[in-house]
A = this chain, B = another copy of it.
Amino acid sequence: MTTRVPLEKKVLSENDRIAAGLRARFHEHQVFCLNLISSPGAGKTSLLERTLERFGAREHVAVLTGDIQTDNDARRLARFGFPVKQITTGGTCHLDARMVERALADWPLEPLDLLLIENVGNLVCPSSYDLGEAAKVVVLSVAEGDDKPLKYPAIFFKAALLVVNKLDLLPYVSFDLARAREHARRVHPGMAILEVSCTTGEGLEAWVRWLEERREAAKAGSA
């Protein structure tokens, strides 16, 4: 469909322009922003729940959560007491920078230092849309199979971090952690990889540490 290319390029370059504006604002206000991407049901919302419950009330954290239809995720996440806003895309398969810009229109960035964006569940399309984030994080459940980095390489190439989730299911599925790491690094040699279970809590300390280190580094970079 060659007719799609020029418009797709135009849409993406318009998106890049808005994303660059968001990135400049995040930098100005020292907000470290992450864009979480995964298949449906890989555990993005669970990872955010386990993350928010580890944060104290003094943390300056907010969450934007994208979904096609429901606001279930926002309701799940709001009970931790941090600001949470749902972006319902109404059919669109990814978040784009304009949706984020709109969602932030009435949110002052000054009080924040961490903004977590949960994208729509989709391992393909969200990887093309810059949201102004400091880094993309891809979440892969062991139930999905260790071949996924090779089959969906774009997001594994673009994400700074791979979080392998549902470690507790390893005994019951044919997922080889070493092979998954090898596949991820074949697509993206420098990729950081963490392995967690949001059910048992295994590995979550390392994830929160990664988050804190990046947040501190971002602050130092802004100063």
Q: Which A positions have Cβ atoms within 8 angstroms of B? A: 1, 3-4, 7, 10-11, 14, 39-42, 67-70, 72, 91, 93, 96, 98, 120-125, 141, 143-145, 147-148, 150-154, 166, 168-169, 172-173
Q: A121-B151, A123-B122 are in contact. Are A41 and B7 (CB under 8 A)?
A: no
> Across the interface, do B172 and A91 meet the contact criterion of CB distance under 8 Å?
no
Assuming A69-B152, A143-B166, is B39 touching A124 (CB within 8 A)?
no
Known contacts A40-B144, A41-B144, A93-B122, then 19 further A-B pairs from the complex at CB < 8 Å, ordered by chain A residue: A1-B11, A1-B14, A7-B7, A39-B123, A39-B144, A68-B124, A68-B151, A68-B153, A68-B154, A69-B151, A69-B153, A70-B150, A70-B151, A72-B151, A93-B124, A93-B125, A121-B124, A121-B151, A172-B172
Residues of B within 8 A of A10 (CB): 3
| Chain B residues within 8 Å of A173, by CB | 169
Contact pick for A143, options B7, B91, B143, B153, CB 8 Å: B143
CB pair B93 A93 closer than 8 Å: yes
Measured in the bound complex, the distance between the Cα atoms of B15 and A4 in whole Å is 13
Query: What's the least CB distance linking A130 to chain B, in Å?
Result: 15
| Inter-subunit contact A121/B39 (CB<8 Å) | yes
CA distance A7 to B93 in the complex (A): 17
List of B residues within 8 angstroms of A1 by Cβ: 11, 14, 96, 98
Question: Are A147 and B72 within 8 A (Cβ)?
Answer: yes
Alpha-carbon distance A166/B96, docked complex (angstroms): 33
Q: In the bound complex, how far is the Cα of B7 from the Cα of A144, in angstroms? A: 34
Beta-carbon nearest neighbor of A150 in chain B: B70
A67 CA to B1 CA in the complex, in Å? Answer: 17
Q: Are A121 and B121 in contact (CB under 8 A)?
A: no
